[in-house]
Amino acid sequence: MATQSEMLVIDADAHVVESARTWDFLDADEERHRPALYASPQRPQQEFWFIDGKARGTKLPTLAEKQLEEMSRRSGYNVVTAVAAREMDDVQLRLNHMDELGVDVQVLHNTLWITNVAERPDTEAALCRCWNRWMADVHRQGQGRLRWSCVLPTLTISESLVQMRDAKEHGAVAVCLRAHEANRHLVDPYFYPIYEEAQNLDLAVVVHVSNADALLAERLKSQYDLGSSFSPLRVPTVTSCHEYIMSEVPSLFPRLRWGFIEVSAQWAPWLIKEARRRARKLSRDVPWDIFPEYRIYAACETDDDLPFILKYAGEDNIVIGTDYGHSDISSETDAIGVFRAADYGISEEAKRKILCDNPRRLYAL
């Protein structure tokens, strides 16, 4: 591990893709909760995880590298990863690929928990416990280079606290929450025990692009939204940051760090300007340097307008991720290399902060 003065390149948004093997970490008496794969007769190539009698998140297609190479050629963004690396069947293969990409540490996020996974508290608790154990095992094999954000059974706060403590002991650096958890906003006092414990454990709260309010997500879907992710998932993630800024949460938990991940960072200037203007008109006490003062970090993408973003957010609160393992609108497997080579009109020191210092601080690495 690099010393404090050395360059430690951190991918702030990498993924693992759940497979049937993920659920082998269930306790024997919880096998009844094991997700099963279901394919629609209309679209047999598309599989869903079947949990508690309902189709939940999609199982990402097991695309071969040749297929991903063709997708990369068409889109202009590299999305090539090996199946065994993204599904963590071969951790050493993943580490070798990180070496090729110039990445020292990846922070791993889930794939399934982007939307609602379970409605029964016992099912949710069992699946979260299982997934977190899987990541603990990956971290054990990862030579200190694979850190992760734990998933929480938010239907049961007491169980969430237990799982947070165990996750911290096994390499977790954050807790992953959705922009809406069922019918609750993240600033709801219901979540305050989680925030207090995260602050005590020095875990960040990461709001990865997501929305667990199924009714809201359905209402926001549009036939013109490629992949149905912009309105149902991306917009709520950004608005949850605005709610955090305007709420009492920053003052109640003054050491808690927040990351808003996989929605680019292009929204940051607009949101900061809106918050400042609203605070003035409402005579609210909101600091001018909102991101640094409220410990907010946003993950940029390689085609973001970084000088504009840094003008508002500052140099100390932007990180970068690859979305490793996915092949969607946000994915760029070699984003770190592209970022390092690009001329954005920002200083090399600002680049170092985005690649190393800022994610190191966000995740307390």
pTM higher than 0.85 for the full model?
yes
pLDDT along the chain (365 residues), means of 10: 70 95 96 89 76 79 59 62 91 96 97 91 98 98 98 98 98 96 93 98 95 79 73 89 96 98 96 92 86 98 97 98 80 92 96 98 98
Cα–Cα distance, 200 to 12 (Å, whole number): 22
pLDDT at residue 4, rounded to an integer: 47
Cα–Cα distance, 117 to 212 (Å, whole number): 8
pLDDT at residue 214, rounded to an integer: 78
Q: Is the dihedral angle over the CA atoms 71, 103, 322, 324 positive or is it negative? A: positive
124 CB neighbour count, 10 Å cutoff: 25
Q: 338-364 burial string, b = 16+ CB within 10 Å, else e?
A: bbbeeebebeeebbebbbbbbbbbbbe
Contact 337, 300 (CB under 8 A): no
Tokens linked to 24: 């082998």
Contact 89, 48 (CB under 8 A): no
Picking from 31, 190, 53, the residue whose alpha carbon sits closest to that of residue 119 is 53
Domain boundaries, the chain: 10-17+68-362
**What secondary structure letter does DSSP report for 357?**
I
CA distances (Å), origin 326, targets 61, 71, 148, 303, 330: 10, 12, 16, 18, 8
Write the CB contacts of 306 (distance below 8 Å, at least 6 apart in sequence): 300, 318, 344, 345, 346, 350
Residue type, 304: D
CA distances (Å), origin 363, targets 44, 67, 88, 203, 247: 40, 34, 22, 7, 23
Task: Answer left, alpha or beta for residue 364, where phi above 0 means left and psi between -120 and 50 means alpha.
Answer: left
Q: Is the dihedral angle over the CA atoms 155, 259, 83, 231 positive or is it negative? A: positive
User: What angle is formed at CA 144 by the lines to CA 98 and CA 322, rounded to 5 degrees?
Assistant: 35
Options 3.40.50.300, 3.30.390.10, 3.20.20.140, 3.40.50.10790; which CATH number does 10-17+68-362 get? 3.20.20.140
pLDDT at residue 227, rounded to an integer: 60
Contact 251, 225 (CB under 8 A): no
Tokens linked to 263: 């929605």
